[in-house]
Amino acid sequence: MIGRGDRMNRALVLVLSTAASLGAATIVSPCALADSVSMKSPQFTAARIAERYLAVHYPAFDTIAMPPIVDDEGDVWKVSYELPPNMAGGNPVIVVEKTSWKVLRVYHEQ
């Protein structure tokens, strides 16, 4: 016969292992999705280049809170950032050349 303490320990182990499994799945799934789909797209590459540029030149800009918007402008990708509803402008725009993946220009919208 299993005592109450043993049942509690088994229940705790089950809960903790389930939580750990769910936590790992939550962390791994976006990466797996990015590896399988998004990382192969040129839009994703342009967004990553813009993100790296901002990290060096504008380290205070939060690319997580303001997700990128990538527009196909012919020979270049225009990467801008979605602003919160209470902001009227001031977001950076990074223009990335499609053939060389170089940042051609950076400006702020108003």
Has residue 10 got a pLDDT over 90? no
- R_g of the chain, CA atoms, integer Å: 22
- Rounded CA separation 32/16 (Å): 24
101 C-beta neighbours (distance < 10 Å), count:
13
pTM (2 decimals)? Answer: 0.61
Ordered strands of the 92-97 beta sheet: 68-72, 76-81, 92-97, 103-108
Higher pLDDT residue, 5 or 97? Answer: 97
Q: Kindly report, residue by residue over 67-82, the tens digit of the pLDDT.
A: 899 999 999 999 999 8
The single-letter DSSP state of residue 77 is E
